[in-house]
Amino acid sequence: MPSKSRFVIAESSIKSFFKQNPRKVFSREQLSGIFEERKAAWNLPVTTTDLRFIEQLQKRGILTKIEILFDGYLNKKERYITEDANELEIAASLINRSYLSHYTAMFLNGLTTQVPKIIYVTFEQSKKPEGNRQLKQEAIDAAFSKPQRKAVTEAVYGDYSFLILNGMHTGRTGIHTVGNVPVTNLERTLIDITVRPGYAGGVYSVLQAYQNALSEISLNKLVATLDNLDFIYPYHQAVGFYLEQSGYSGKKLEELRSRKKEFRFYLTYEMEEKDFSEDWQLYYPKGM
């Protein structure tokens, strides 16, 4: 009877390692690192390479290889997943230091019960030198008369779409972990969907998210996050409007209301019919 290979002898330990590992999605580089760290403990032959190890993981059904194909500028990605890996974990693994955001973050933070079929993945641009931060009303009017800019990089995986967003540099402000997946926290999520309502189901969906957040939200944290993000556009006017429309009242709302409103701003893009809030100096969809 032929003797068992060392991989077969170590198989139960290897299976246990991946079953207990909180990470469920791996790149080839990560698996190579695990191999180098664990090969002595697993008593694998010195002739075993990392590629041979990865082949055995697939052959033994410990991991499954998948390919994610993108439209746009990203090359295809290969990932190795456990049987209990989910689409959120796969999406979050695609780009280093990325995080889930917008409508996906609304779901993970309990702001909607609708399970998203589009998973928004944000990765941040590198920090850029300060440019011209002077605003003109004509430029604001022109920008918001057009449709919201949309991401051009997308991948389809089963019933899900992964939409890759190239976000501004924030130093990962307001990122926490939900179920081992990096995602914007409640306050950062509300700000992000205020800025890009098209990635959140539109302004009525954003308003519903604010209403659902009222019992959980920290207004101090929300305002501090808004200030830290330091937008050129006066998004405090839109945030204040949403808070007031949601039924919030308090010192922090009055603080936002008292801030300088040098420009007339817009709640969303390309509004055909709109009303105007004198209080917030803000155009919003008619009848909202």
Q: Indicate whether 251 and 138 sit together in one domain.
A: yes
The pLDDT value recorded for residue 249 is 87
Q: Indicate whether 91 and 172 sit together in one domain.
A: yes
- DSSP label of 179: T
Q: Indicate whether 144 and 156 sit together in one domain.
A: yes
Decide the pairing of beta strands 64-68 and 77-81: antiparallel
Q: Indicate whether 172 and 243 sit together in one domain.
A: yes
Q: What is the pLDDT of residues 179-206, one digit of tens each?
A: 889 999 999 999 999 999 999 999 999 9
CA atoms within 13 A on the CB side of 181: 28
Domain termination residue (choose one: 85, 120, 150): 85
Q: Indicate whether 142 and 24 sit together in one domain.
A: no
Question: Which burial class, exposed, middle or buried, applies to 171 when counting CB atoms under 10 A from its CB (0-12, 13-18, 19+)?
Answer: exposed
User: pLDDT-based confidence at 1, cuts 50/70/90?
Assistant: very low
Q: Indicate whether 109 and 206 sit together in one domain.
A: yes
The pLDDT value recorded for residue 90 is 98
Q: Taking residues 39-59, what's their average pLDDT?
A: 95
User: pLDDT-based confidence at 161, cuts 50/70/90?
Assistant: very high
Q: Indicate whether 242 and 133 sit together in one domain.
A: yes
Decide the pairing of beta strands 282-285 and 265-266: parallel
Q: Indicate whether 103 and 215 sit together in one domain.
A: yes
Q: Indicate whether 238 and 105 sit together in one domain.
A: yes
Domain that holds residue 253: 86-285
Q: Indicate whether 247 and 264 sit together in one domain.
A: yes
Q: Indicate whether 187 and 133 sit together in one domain.
A: yes
- The model scores a pTM over 0.75: yes
Paired tokens of 68: 């994610």
Q: What is the pLDDT of residues 30-44, one digit of tens each?
A: 999 999 999 999 999
What CATH number is associated with residue 12? 1.10.10
Domain termination residue (choose one: 55, 85, 115): 85
- How many domains in the chain? 2
Residue 132, pLDDT > 80, answer no
Sheet of 99-100, strands arranged across: 70-71, 153-157, 160-167, 118-124, 99-100, 181-184, 175-178
User: pLDDT-based confidence at 4, cuts 50/70/90?
Assistant: low
The pLDDT value recorded for residue 2 is 47
Closest by Cα among 126, 114, 119, 117 to 94 = 119
Mean pLDDT in the chain? Answer: 94
Q: Indicate whether 51 and 16 sit together in one domain.
A: yes
SS (H, E, C) 198-243: HHCCCHHHHHHHHHHHCCCCCHHHHHHHHHHHCCCCCHHHHHHHHH
What CATH number is associated with residue 133? 3.30.460
